[in-house]
Chains A and B, each alone.
Chain A
Amino acid sequence: MKNFKYIPAESLEKASQKKDDSVLMAGGTDLLGMIKDDLLTPETVINLKSLKELKNIRYNAGKGLEIGALATITELAENSDVQKRFPVLVQTCKEIASPQLRNVGTVGGNLCQRPRCWYYRGEFNCLRKGGDTCFAVDGENKFHCVVGGGPCYIVHPSDLAVSLLALDASLEIFSNGKLKTVPIDDFFILPEQNETKENILEPGEIVTKIIVPEIPAGSKCAFIKFKERASWDFAVVSLGILLNTNGSTIKNGRIVFGGVAPRPWIDTALNTKLTGAATDEKNLKSLADSALLEAEPMSKNDYKIILVRNLLKQALIDLSKN
């Protein structure tokens, strides 16, 4: 690890005018690990914690939920409005890491964390670090992506990203002295666009707020995370689902997959089939079996497709019940 200077952010503006050799820190649970592993060697670490205004969680009836990017995962999970109106977010938070990490890790940081690929985190000069090879292609790729990969094959590690995308959230971003709002679907990018980053943020841009619209009346939500260890683990695969059923048919809905792609993944073909689909078990099973048809698994991860389909089937059946 290289030594660095540590300073609190004076203001959002000042923080965003950081030099190239500085990094911004929210909770630090990912950033400090990266510095420790020499993946980042900043001269200066600017702690955003001093920007108290970015910690607020506010609910406005009819408008939805605003989550300050610096609110911790625990604060989000313990907020009474969130518990009442957005139980799926509480469910998601409880699946993240461990209580200690949730106490420190922030919502904004969770969305902006870097991938867990062992080549990226290890001593490999891989594509994502500016090298010219993705070592997962011919390597140990049990935990890599089955869809959306190429030339790099990471999976996006965030759990909240999956739920928030299912809920059609937007992000408020401080950019060049102004605030802009971006649908979360447009925030995450694929390696084919840029293999060295996971989202659209440019240096100096800061996520300030996550805006979650009201969950439409009558809709049900779920977040399911499948992991190898019962706690403190990243998703092997995960699902975020919003579903509005009308007795025997699905009125509308949205399904998002985690752990399968370099970004939270919307299988468009699958999602198109939702509206009007019958909710009998046979149909839901065939719906689930049509998930990830465009997947191209690697040598060691085809099990993820089976997992996704089986978990989705169970989730659709559960959510379709009254």
Chain B
Amino acid sequence: MARYAADYSLPHQLYGCVKYADYPHAEILNIDISEALKINGVEAVLTYKDVPGENRFGLIPNIRILADDRTRYLGDAVALIAARTIEIAKQAARHISIKYHKLPDVIDPRESLKEETIKIHEEGNLVVHHKVLKGDIARGFKQSVHVIEQDFSTPAIEHAYLEPEAALAYPDEQDGIAVIGCLQNIYTSHKVIAAALNLPLAKVKIIQSTMGGSFGGKDEASTLVAARAALLAVKTKRPVKIVNSREDSMIQSYKRHPYYLNYRWGCDQDGRLLAMQHDIIADSGAYCSMTPFVTWRSVVQAAGPYRCPNVKTDVRGVYTNNNYTGAMRGFGSPQVNVAIEIMMDKIAEKTNKSPLEIRLLNGFGDGAVTATGQKLSHDVSLKQVLTIAAEKSDFENKWRQNRSKENQSAPVSKGIGLSCSYRGVSLGAEGVDAASAVVHVQPDGSINVSSGIIDMGQGAQTALAQIAAEVLGVSMKRMRFLEPDTTRVADSGPTVASRGTIMGGGAVKIAAEKVAELIKEILAEKHKIRKESLLLKNEKIETKSGKRVCTFTDAVKLCYAKGTPLFANGVRYIAETDWNEKTGRGNAYFTYVYGANVAEVEVDRETGKVNVTRFISVHDVGKAINKSMVEGQIYGGIAMGTGYAIMESFIQESGMAKTINFDEYYIPTALDVPQMESFIVENPDKHGPFGAKSIGEPALEIVAPTIINAIFNATGKHIYNLPASLEEVLLGKKLRRDVERGSLSCKPEV
């Protein structure tokens, strides 16, 4: 039975909670905890002054475990309370009084970089500015016959994992501390918590509990919960448990970056791209979580999988007093893909081509050179996936039929849309790309597999165990996957960037191969045969000529009898990327994946309701280690992307979250998701275990523009501001603030 972080309890444990900031942006002048401490049952109240080590962490270390100089968003914790019950802890939070000097709020990221705007951090409001420059953009536009320019916006959205953040921290027997938590990146949590407690890493143990979803969301957000529990546990010398409610989770946690994008493309008579210029602002919110990396993926992929001699892209991440933003499934690609794929349909429209024709004309083929100057040396299957998606959906015919006057003026109009993308696999030039794994064959032949790659529901346990089973030639019945802790499995980096299978799986494969080598050596010695002639398959060891040597179990017993425990560590490290931040040139990722989606919709033109009726998703995954789980990823990606397209938006008003539970924050229900079909394409890649690449994020990253393009096919109207909520589709606009009451026309059209 799965045990989630909130399911763990220890004797004498206390309950922790936070005192939230009262203003999104204010100087903290004084924090008075004296009244809170008087409450019976309160065991500790901490402020930033009580953090023994580093209070700040992050890529740019400005995320505060406890707000110190200022509050920067309403999810900031100003104080921590540990009490005998959660009710007492919350009561104590209400008795903490804080003196503030209120500062102006920065809400609109487009205002953030203006001279007159207040600086949220000492270093200013610019988090990062990435550039890509290829060719001569001015010349490209000059040569162009058609130039199209368009603004787009995408909203902040919530990960909406089923399990909100939780952690249980407890002092261990050797003056150390252990934390059980649901953490997407235990190795970062480990470093942050050790630094906060001013303890050596070896004295801090992070134990991964079963995780109820993450989608990129349980990095800093969960680390904060774990670090706060650890601080309280050290202070009180007792176990402390913090369990976020859904509301706590929504208020505290980071979201997907809202983007404001300006796209300007030029093409020749036939629609061949000649110039692409992109200016993008990303709202980083109050702090720097993954903004430098998220926006880096955007800058690399901003021109899509299309050939173009002249490209100029600028992406700026900026601070505001909104919820901070960070990793979320897609990681900087869903936003740019919305703009890219809608632009592509606009170019098609302009040059009288179908969406398929225009993509086949401009799309990457083998050996293509990307906007960053990288020559693609793997199987570039873009046109393959596009063709399959179009054939399976009868795209061309339906697309032409839907363009009729009858359809586009019917009360309910049908539409079909197409999108495609390429995506850099794993971290790329973001950082060191290495993962570790341990394969341990027990004396009876049962097998433990551990990896620093976390299973958050995506099925990493199964896929990684399958890889080990395949190498060792045994059935899955022998396998038991152990969740990692930081004392057992070496730093594997984060479980992000769709790198679980390709990197973690690669590490498992190396570890399993080492074990297989050990077995072969012992058997070769005993049977006086060459170890190279031995094979592990079907629960047996046999020679290449098919002669049975012994069963796997007997081989294991023999190894242990010979003093050879079957235990090995594997490390997969790939260092084939390079990046020049100044020029925006380089081999950004060691390999890429390709996908194409088709959506069919029915748009009720009288209510603005968009019904997504069918969805076809085609992905080249390199090699499907487990077909059902690949399909599961694809279906989940479609559901999540449908929400991004038509209903999701994390609404904040002056920094105050309005949608803090699922009654107000809409995600698709089973009734809202389309009928889905997936098609898996396999072009094995040399970097992955058995040729496997990735699917987690590719499955999501073009769902939204596919649906938006289908709405265009149905109505003849493009939507540029996500989500395509009913008022956007019905009125063609987002309903804006600051319109005087009663001044809007409510009279019927005459």
Q: Which residues of A contact B (CB under 8 A)?
A: 1-3, 116, 118, 122, 137, 139-140, 142, 146, 226, 228-234, 236, 289-290, 292-293, 295-303, 305-307, 309-311, 313-314
Contacts and interface: CB of A to CB of B under 8 A. Distances in A.
Given A290-B748, A305-B746, A309-B748, A299 B664 contact: no
B198 interface: no
A297 B653 CA distance: 19
Contacts of A297: 742, 744, 746
A209 B653 CA distance: 41
Interface in B598-619: 606-609
B738 A302 contact: no
Given A118-B664, A310-B607, A311-B606, A299 B737 contact: yes
Nearest to A232: B669
A298 to B, nearest CB: 6
Given A300-B735, A311-B607, 8 more contacts: A140-B658, A230-B668, A231-B669, A234-B663, A289-B749, A299-B741, A305-B746, A310-B607
A146 B746 CA distance: 10
B629 interface: no
A228 B725 contact: yes
Q: 10 closest A-B pairs (Cβ-Cβ)?
A: A230-B671, A310-B606, A300-B735, A289-B748, A303-B727, A299-B739, A296-B742, A302-B744, A230-B672, A295-B746
A298 B664 contact: no
B721 to A, nearest CB: 14
Contacts of A300: 735-737
27 contacts: A2-B87, A3-B87, A118-B658, A118-B659, A118-B664, A122-B660, A139-B653, A142-B727, A226-B607, A226-B609, A228-B726, A229-B669, A230-B669, A232-B662, A232-B669, A296-B742, A298-B741, A300-B735, A300-B737, A303-B727, A303-B731, A305-B746, A306-B730, A306-B731, A307-B730, A310-B606, A311-B607
B246 to A, nearest CB: 11
A1 B87 contact: yes
Contacts of A236: 726
B651 A140 contact: yes
B152 interface: no
Nearest to A299: B739
B527 interface: no
Contact of A229 (B658, B666, B738, B740): B666
Contacts of B725: 228
B188 to A, nearest CB: 32
Q: Is the interface of A mostly helix, strand, loop or mixed?
A: loop
Given A292-B746, A310-B607, A302 B735 contact: yes
Contacts of A296: 741-742, 746
A139 B736 CA distance: 10
A303 B732 CA distance: 11
A122 B740 CA distance: 24
Contacts of B653: 139-140
Contacts of B608: 303, 307
A250 B403 CA distance: 38
A137 B87 CA distance: 34
Interface in B699-750: 725-727, 730-731, 735-742, 744-749
Interface of B: 87, 411, 606-609, 647, 651, 653, 656, 658-660, 662-664, 666-672, 725-727, 730-731, 735-742, 744-749
B71 to A, nearest CB: 15
B644 to A, nearest CB: 14
Contacts of B609: 226
B631 to A, nearest CB: 23
Contacts of A299: 735-741, 744
A246 B741 CA distance: 42
Nearest to A1: B87
Contacts of A232: 662, 669
A199 to B, nearest CB: 22
B663 A116 contact: yes
A229 B668 CA distance: 7
A156 to B, nearest CB: 16
B735 A142 contact: yes
Contacts of B740: 299
B671 A231 contact: yes
Given A228-B647, A230-B671, A301 B607 contact: no
Contacts of A295: 746
B746 A302 contact: yes
A47 B660 CA distance: 29
A229 B735 contact: no
A252 B662 CA distance: 41
Nearest to B85: A3
A40 to B, nearest CB: 15
Instruction: Pick the most buried of A118, A142, A298, A313: most chain B CB atoms within 10 A of its CB.
Output: A118
A301 B735 CA distance: 7
Nearest to B747: A293
Contacts of B670: 231
Contacts of A139: 653
Contacts of B668: 229-230
A146 B672 CA distance: 27
Contacts of B671: 230-231
Contacts of B726: 228, 236, 303, 307
Q: Which of B609, B727, B731, B749 has its CB near the most chain A CB atoms (within 10 A)?
A: B727
Contacts of A142: 727, 735
Contacts of B666: 228-229, 233
Contacts of A137: 741
Contacts of A302: 731, 735, 744-746
B730 A303 contact: yes
A140 B664 CA distance: 12
B554 to A, nearest CB: 54
A142 to B, nearest CB: 6
Given A290-B748, A292-B746, A299-B741, A307 B672 contact: no
B650 to A, nearest CB: 12
Contacts of B735: 142, 299-303
B462 to A, nearest CB: 31
Nearest to B741: A298
Contacts of B669: 229-232
Nearest to A285: B748
**Which of B653, B669, B671, B748 lies at the interface centre, i.e. has the most chain A CB atoms within 10 A of its CB?**
B748
Contacts of B607: 226, 307, 310-311
A292 B727 CA distance: 18
Nearest to B656: A122
Nearest to B725: A228
Contacts of B667: 229
A310 B130 CA distance: 47
B731 to A, nearest CB: 6
Interface centre among A116, A231, A234, A306 (most CB of B within 10 A): A306
Contacts of A290: 748
Contacts of B727: 142, 303
A314 B607 CA distance: 11
A258 B410 CA distance: 27
Nearest to B86: A1
Nearest to A97: B663
Contacts of B651: 140
Nearest to B605: A310
B606 A314 contact: yes
B687 to A, nearest CB: 41
A80 to B, nearest CB: 26
A74 B671 CA distance: 20
Nearest to B651: A140
A91 B702 CA distance: 37
A2 B738 CA distance: 38
Contacts of A229: 647, 666-669, 672
A140 B651 CA distance: 9
B610 to A, nearest CB: 11
A10 B668 CA distance: 43
A229 B725 CA distance: 10
Contacts of A306: 730-731
